[in-house]
């Protein structure tokens, strides 16, 4: 039988409780709100369900990096993508409360597919480039460069706005700036 690809917010409690070794804050598990990583006092400590619920209730996005290692159905899909694309594939999970955003406008160092699982999230995507003069990145940053976060969006007009709904997939090339926020009606659960 094909592995179940559905993941719900309720499943997250089970994942957190079942994998305490992976729930150490810092690189693998973090909270983000309005452009900043929060809860730095937790760095290196195990995050439990109650801590995650408290941070979420205060408006934080829950981020679990490498979620495919903890969710067998997704692991099978990332392996299939690796075979098809012939490149390494990883997956990160983002759970954001309604009317919140975890990160400021930024670009990533990898090509990104966004899969919306629950709720709705509005994405604003700019053309490649477009940051104010003096920004030290190239149009297509090299892998050894750092990702850049900005407090303000690029000066150029966004290329598009898109409201992602469950089942929608969005592709964002590396170096293309974007920002996302949840809709007013519900939280958002997506995987990149």
**Tokens representing 56?**
């979420």
pTM of the full structure: 0.83
**pLDDT tens digits, 138-190:** 455 555 555 555 556 667 788 899 999 999 999 998 888 899 999 888 889 99
For residues 1 and 9, the model is more confident at 9
- Look at residue 1 in the predicted model and tell me its pLDDT: 40
What are the pLDDT digits (tens) for 64-76?
888 888 888 888 8
pLDDT tens profile 71-118 = 888 888 899 999 999 999 999 999 999 989 888 888 888 889 999 999
Residue 94's pLDDT is 93
Asked whether the predicted pLDDT for residue 13 surpasses 70, the reply is yes
Q: Which of these, 66, 62, 46, 151, lies nearest to 106 by C-alpha position? A: 151
Contact (Cβ atoms closer than 8 angstroms) between residue 100 and residue 63: no
DSSP-assigned beta bridge partners for residue 31: 38, 62
Contact call for residues 46 and 24 (beta carbons, < 8 A): yes
Half-sphere exposure of 52 (CA within 13 A, CB side): 24
Give the 3-state secondary structure of the chain.
CCCCCCCCHHHHHHHHHHCHHHCEECCCEEEEECCEEECHHHCCCECCHHHHHHHHHCCCEEEECCHHHCCHHHHHHHHHHHHHHCCCCCCCEEEECCCCCCCCCEECCCCEEEEEEEECEEEEECCCCCCCCCCCCCCCCCCCCCCEECCCCCCCCCCEEEEECCCCEEEECCCCCEEEEECCCCCEEEEC
Distance, CA of 190 to CA of 59 (rounded, Å) = 16
């Amino acid at each position: 039988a094909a592995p179940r690809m559905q993941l719900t917010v309720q499943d997250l409690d089970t994942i957190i409780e079942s994998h305490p070794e992976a729930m150490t804050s810092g690189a693998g598990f973090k909270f983000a709100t309005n452009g900043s990583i929060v809860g730095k006092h937790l760095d290196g400590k195990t995050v439990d369900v109650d801590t995650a619920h408290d941070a979420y209730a205060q408006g934080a996005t829950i981020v679990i990096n490498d979620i495919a290692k903890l969710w067998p159905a997704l692991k099978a899909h990332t392996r299939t993508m690796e075979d098809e694309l012939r490149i390494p594939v990883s997956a990160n999970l983002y759970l954001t409360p309604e009317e919140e955003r975890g990160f400021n406008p930024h670009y990533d160092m990898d090509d990104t597919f966004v899969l919306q699982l629950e709720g709705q999230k509005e994405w604003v995507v700019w053309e490649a480039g477009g940051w104010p003069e003096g920004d030290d990145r190239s149009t297509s940053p090299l892998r050894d460069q750092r990702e850049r976060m900005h407090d303000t969006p690029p000066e150029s007009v966004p290329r598009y706005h898109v409201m992602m709904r469950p089942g929608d997939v969005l592709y964002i090339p590396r170096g293309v700036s974007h920002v996302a926020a949840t809709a007013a009606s519900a939280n958002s659960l997506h995987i990149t």
